[in-house]
């Protein structure tokens, strides 16, 4: 089971102290129906720090740990997440034409790892994930990334829209890759700072994110299979961006 491969803390007080100490968590599981002042204080800390949480049956917590968990099991992040503002500011400070990937609902850890590997190879700056509904960065994701997730900046945000607003204010073009677009990626200018939005293979990019995008672009499809795996699709888009960004350099 994926959760058993992750480091964890359990118990109300240890988890609260870890949150106050700035420890980063992938998610926190809470027993359904919990009540009391201590629980209320814990839940307030979780929400205040934008940590993903989930209410689960007692049986799931009992399977997860051996010990007096008090209805709380918290899974520790494998990496140190950075604030999205720091990710964006650092990207602009270190590159004239940075690339960032925003993953909207991509939940498969192997796809996340493969996307991170491609982004790192393409000279990208980082990945922005939603705090809820996104793939966990666990040992399997890090392995699939060939270690790229340990080198790239990764931000988790309670609401992707917040990060998009900041990106736009910072001069990034937001490009959503969707089969519904009339323009192709080859007709889309990606020479400047850009953030590429990729959605899940099932639902695609949410309408809210599409509405915030500066441009929408599609990957041309000629075969009977009308879609690519999301990690493969991201690779196609990122290396089109690399081609555009380096075209003048190669001509020189």
Condensed to tens digits (0 to 9), the pLDDT of residues 90-143 reads: 999 999 999 999 999 999 999 999 999 999 999 999 999 998 888 888 778 888
Mean pLDDT score, 160-173: 97
Beta bridge partners of 25: 76
Let me know whether 216 and 102 are in one domain. yes
d(CA 77, CA 66): 20
Mean pLDDT score, 60-81: 86
The pLDDT of residue 2 is above 50: no
CATH of the domain at 66: 3.30.1330.30
Mean pLDDT of the chain, nearest integer: 90
Let me know whether 148 and 244 are in one domain. yes
Let me know whether 136 and 225 are in one domain. yes
Let me know whether 110 and 229 are in one domain. yes
Residue 56: domain span: 2-76
71: Cα within 13 Å, side-chain hemisphere: 14
d(CA 181, CA 33): 45
CATH of the domain at 141: 3.40.1280.10
pLDDT in tens, 240-249: 999 999 985 5
pLDDT band at 83 (very low <50, low <70, confident <90, very high): very high
Share of the chain above pLDDT 90, in %: 62
Let me know whether 42 and 128 are in one domain. no
d(CA 43, CA 33): 13
Let me know whether 62 and 41 are in one domain. yes
d(CA 239, CA 194): 13
The pLDDT of residue 19 is above 70: yes
Beta carbons within 10 angstroms of residue 2's beta carbon: 12
Show which of 50, 76, 102 is a domain's final residue.
Answer: 76
pLDDT in tens, 210-244: 999 999 999 998 877 667 899 999 999 999 999 99
Based on the structure, what is the number of domains in the chain? 2
The per-residue pLDDT for 249 is 52
DSSP E strand stretches across the chain: 8-10, 25-31, 53-56, 72-76, 99-104, 126-130, 153-157, 173-177, 194-199, 215-217
pLDDT in tens, 186-200: 999 999 999 999 998
- Cα dist from 43 to 8, 11, 61, 90, 159, whole Å: 17, 13, 17, 32, 18
Let me know whether 50 and 93 are in one domain. no
Let me know whether 243 and 140 are in one domain. yes
DSSP character for 10? E
Mean pLDDT score, 44-64: 89
Q: CA-based Rg of the chain, rounded to a whole angstrom?
A: 20
pLDDT band at 6 (very low <50, low <70, confident <90, very high): low
d(CA 120, CA 125): 8
Let me know whether 120 and 228 are in one domain. yes
d(CA 133, CA 152): 21
Show which of 12, 41, 76 is a domain's final residue.
Answer: 76
Let me know whether 88 and 72 are in one domain. no
Share of the chain above pLDDT 70, in %: 94
Show which of 25, 54, 76 is a domain's final residue.
Answer: 76
d(CA 222, CA 199): 21
Let me know whether 89 and 72 are in one domain. no
Let me know whether 104 and 139 are in one domain. yes
């Amino acid at each position: 089971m994926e959760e058993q491969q992750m480091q964890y803390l359990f118990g109300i007080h240890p988890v609260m102290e870890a949150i106050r100490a700035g420890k980063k968590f992938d998610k926190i599981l809470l027993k359904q129906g919990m009540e009391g002042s201590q629980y209320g204080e814990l839940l307030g800390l979780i929400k205040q720090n934008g940590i993903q949480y989930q209410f689960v049956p007692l049986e799931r917590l009992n399977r997860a740990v051996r010990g007096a968990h008090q209805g709380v099991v918290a899974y520790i992040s494998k990496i140190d997440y950075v604030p999205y503002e720091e990710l964006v500011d650092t990207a602009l400070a270190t590159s004239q034409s940075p690339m960032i990937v925003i993953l909207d609902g991509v939940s498969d850890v192997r796809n996340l790892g493969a996307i991170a590997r491609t982004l790192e190879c393409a000279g990208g700056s980082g990945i922005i994930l939603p705090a809820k509904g996104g793939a966990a960065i666990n040992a399997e994701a890090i392995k699939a990334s060939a270690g790229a997730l340990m080198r790239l900046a990764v931000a988790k945000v309670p609401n992707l829209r917040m990060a998009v607003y900041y990106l736009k204010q910072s001069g990034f073009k937001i490009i959503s890759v969707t089969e519904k677009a009339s323009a192709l990626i080859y007709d889309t200018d990606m020479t400047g700072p850009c953030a590429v939005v990729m959605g899940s293979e099932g639902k695609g990019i949410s309408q809210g994110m599409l509405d915030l995008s500066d441009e929408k672009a599609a990957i041309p499809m000629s075969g009977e299979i009308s879609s690519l795996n999301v990690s493969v699709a991201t690779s196609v888009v990122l290396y089109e961006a690399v081609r555009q960004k380096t075209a003048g350099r190669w001509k020189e």
